[in-house]
Amino acid sequence: MRIRRDYSGEMAALNSWGANTSADANKINWMAIDVAISRWGKYQRGSVLKCVHRWWDTAERKKRWGQSESNICTLCNLSVETSDHVLKCKHEEMVKVMNQLLHEMKNKIKSCGTYPLLQKNKLNSIEIFS
């Protein structure tokens, strides 16, 4: 089992979300996260880490790096496509995808035997965000 010793990337992510880094970082079980991540496949690990660190290949990022002339979402054509927008885009195809992912997540949380109150709390938090 590989255990990371440098959590600077995680600390930067906590800072970007407005967390009190030292207090909040000490509450996180980093070893458990390492164990969970080590069980994921290469593609899943890369996708999740890109999401956490806001490294998705969005139109906003492509424009900033000179790879595109527009930073507007190609689906809805209404907003700048950022990582947050990808999760909240109201285009009908994105809504279908997000609903399917939410349904799969509900099933996985239930199949793990998660305490019902915790299930409800986490799923409500996700639905509010999206």
Q: Tens digit of pLDDT for each residue in 52-80?
A: 777 889 999 999 999 999 999 999 999 99
Bridge partners (DSSP) listed for residue 72: 80
How far CA 25 is from CA of 7, 13, 50, 121, 125, in Å, comes to: 9, 11, 19, 22, 21
For the chain, give the secondary structure using H, E and C.
CCCCCCCHHHHHHHHHCCCCHHHHHCCCCHHHHHHHHHCCCHHHHHHHHHHHCCCCCCHHHHHHCCCCCCCECCCCCCCECCHHHHHHCCCHHHHHHHHHHHHHHHHHHHHCCCCHHHHHHHHHHHHHHC
pLDDT tens digits, one per residue of 10-43? 666 666 666 666 666 677 777 887 888 888 888 8
The pTM assigned to this predicted structure is 0.61
Contact residues for 16 (Cβ-Cβ < 8 A; gap 6+): 54
